[in-house]
Structures are given as structure tokens and as C-alpha cells.
Amino acid sequence: MGGRHVALTFHEQEDPSTDSPEPSVRQAGQSLCELFRVGLEEIRTRKAFLNFTEQDETNLAKIGDLLEREAEGVIDDFYEHLKRFEPLRRFLRDDQSIAYLKQTQKQYLHTLGRLWDRSEYFENRLRIGMTHEQVGLDQKWCLGGYAVMFEIISRRIVRQYADRPQEAAGLMVTLQKILSLDSSLMVETYYRATVQRLEATLQELGDTQRRLEEHSRLDSLTRVYNRKYLMESLEMELCRSQRYGHPFTLLLLDVDYFKEINDRYGHVVGDFVLQEIIRLARSVLRPTDILGRYGGEEFIVGLVENGLAPGQRVAERIRLKIALTPLEYEKHRLSVTVSIGVATKQSDDESIESLIRRADQAMYRAKTVGRNRVCLSAA
């Protein structure tokens, strides 16, 4: 029972041409019997369900003796039958592959119904379904193969027991039971492997969709909301604040002397400055606040449920954080400042564009009076 066996079977787990991983649901070091909870009690239940009797145990020994003598012929007949069907011929690539597969088939037949009250027997049979699913063999061929195998072995039973038809009939009943057990085990793992593969595909598709959605709403450089998604988010929050009567404040932040930074150090350094400013601003903001790139070196912060005074305090914290943090890029050490305009929602009928316009006017006033400041909207 030491090897891994394949029933019908066109590939076997240790075939070097088959290296697909087993489903991720299986933990490292966990057997298939453990995964499917096939213990001694389960084995007894399955035997009872198929009405295995002491006579069946005796019959299995006789079937095993017959297969010891007839295995080669059974296997030759089986593969001759497979070769008649085009979808199966692709698994029978060459003489070397066929010889390998026949050897694994021989191991399967020599263990058919032997020591089958042990977990190793169930482990090997469960593995068959896993292997078949991994190599892409349709389940109809897997299940059909058991019926073909039953017919081929039954013909030999009838021939050997021609003078004892009642005994032959009993052996074929037992053979049907053991092959039914093996096929049910194959179906279990085939189904589980298929489900796991589909779940993995759906997870991958979900991850791809999330990445695409993120790409569609984030600025590629700073990884904050792009202008389109920023405006949609601000509009939604403004409507919410109007509906429930909550305060909503906007900060419009502009990097001081950004053109000079680009001209002196180059756009690579300019990009780095924008990324660092966003990093520093994020450290001050709450997860619920809205942060996006409005254009160029201008960014907007939507402060959810914050009025003018709290908004001014947040703006000052952002300004100081940036002004007091030297930025270093390769050999360059830069001191960067920002000017920030603050405007808060005044009336229920105010649009997001008018709120941005007032924040923009306040920001330009901060530029006019010396930069590196926070100014409040006049109205």
C-alpha cells in the first residue's frame, strides 16, 4: 500500500509531467483522509451502506487472486478501449507514457479491495479524483472508466467460474461494491478540487476587479483620489452633510514654489515632494476624511463633520508637519511649505464647486500674504 495509485487512470500524482498543486484548502502535512474526515468510523459506515458482508471479504480475496494472474490482460483491454476515443488519446502520448500509466494501473488492481479497512486505502483512492481533476480529465470519462473496468474484470470472472455461475455472480456483486466505493471517493475529491479551483479563479478575478477599481479612482503618482473620484466623493459628502445638518469643511492645499522645485531639481524630485507631502498630510488626517489630487500641486481635503474652527486646527497641523519635516532625496535636502485655504459649508443649497471656489480664494490670499500659511474663507 506504499505507492500512490490511479484507478482508471491517465495520470498519477507522482508523474513528473503533473505538478499542479493540490487545493489550497488542504493544510500543510494534512492527509486527504483528515481533510475529508475519513476515519475508522467513516470507513465502517461506508462499508455498512454498501452492505459489505463477510462473504464480500472472502470474495475480495478471490478477486485479488484473479487480478494477480490477469492484471496484464485487464490493463491491455482497458487501454485498447481508451484508445478508441479521441479525447482520451491525448493522455496516451507515447509508448513511455503508456508504459508508466499501465504500471500505476497494475498497482491499483493489485490493491483493489485489499487492506481496505485502513486509511491508506482511502487516501490513495481519494487522491485519484484530485489527480484526474488536475490534469483536466472530464468526470464523465473518470466515472465511465470504472464501468469499463467492471465489465473487463467481470468477463474474466465469468470465464474462470464458468462451471460455478452462482459463485461468479456473487463475485461480480462484490466487484461492483468495491468499484462503487472507489468511484465515490474519486468523485469527492474531484468535486472538491474543482470547487477549490473555481474559488481560486473567482478570488483572482475579484482581486483583479479591485485593482482595476482602485486604478480608476486613484491618482497614479500620489495614490490619493484622482480629480474625478475626488469630486464625486466631495459631492456625496456635501449632500450627506446637508441632509443631516452636519458641518463639512474643505481644505485646499497648494505647494509653495513648486515650479521652482521642478526647475531646479527636476520632475523626479518634484514627484517625490508631492508623494512626501501626501504622506505627511495623511499622518494628520482621520481615515474618514477625503483626500484627493485636484490638479498639479493642488490637493483637497474634505473634513467630515468638522466646522471652521476644527478645520483651521487640522490645516495648521498639516502646514506645520510639512514645514518642520526636511525632505531628503538622494543628495538633495529640501525644505518645503504649503499654503492652505479653508472654507466651510454655509447653506443647504451650496454646491461643491462654490465651496471649492471659496477655499481656493482663501488659499490665494495665503499665497499673497507670504505663503506657508492657513487662511480662512471670508464668507
pLDDT digits (tens, 9 = 90+) for 8-45: 443 333 343 334 344 445 556 678 777 777 778 888 88
Angle at 233 between CA 272 and CA 355, to 5 degrees: 90
Q: 191 and 297 share a domain? A: no
Give the number of other CB atoms < 10 A from CB of residue 90. 10
261 and 131 in a common domain? no
11 domain-assigned: no
Mean of the per-residue pLDDT values of the chain: 85
* Kind of pairing between the strands at 248-255 and 327-329: unpaired
- Contacts of residue 53, Cβ cutoff 8 Å, sequence gap at least 6: none
Predicted pLDDT at 27: 59
For residue 29, what pLDDT is reported? 67
Give residue 371's pLDDT band: very low, low, confident or very high (50, 70, 90).
Answer: very high
* Same domain as 247, residue 151: no
The residue type of 13 is Q
Q: Is the pLDDT of residue 331 over 90?
A: no
Averaged pLDDT for residues 315-320? 97
> In a 3-state reduction of DSSP, which class is residue 192?
helix
pLDDT band at 47 (very low <50, low <70, confident <90, very high): confident
190 within domain boundaries: yes
Query: 255 and 293 share a domain?
Result: yes
For residue 145, give every residue at least 6 positions away whose Cβ sits within 8 Å of its Cβ, in sequence order, or none.
7, 8, 9, 78, 82
271 assigned to some structural domain: yes
Whether pTM > 0.85 for this model: the answer is no
Domain count, the chain: 2
Say yes or no: 319 and 273 in one domain.
Answer: yes
Catalytic residues: 297
CA distance 318 to 333: 20
Shared domain check, 197 and 86? yes
Compute the Cα dihedral for 211, 214, 218, 223 and give only its sign.
negative
Find the CATH number of the domain harbouring 252: 3.30.70.270
**What distance in Å separates the CA atoms of residue 238 and residue 304, rounded to the nearest whole number?**
9
Helical (H) or strand (E) element with 341: strand 338-344
53 and 181, same domain (yes or no): yes
Nearest-angstrom CA–CA distance, 293 and 85? 62
Same domain, 70 and 156: yes
Residues 202 and 255 in one domain: no
DSSP 21: P
* Boundaries of domain holding 52: 32-211
**Residues 194 and 250 grouped into a single domain:** no
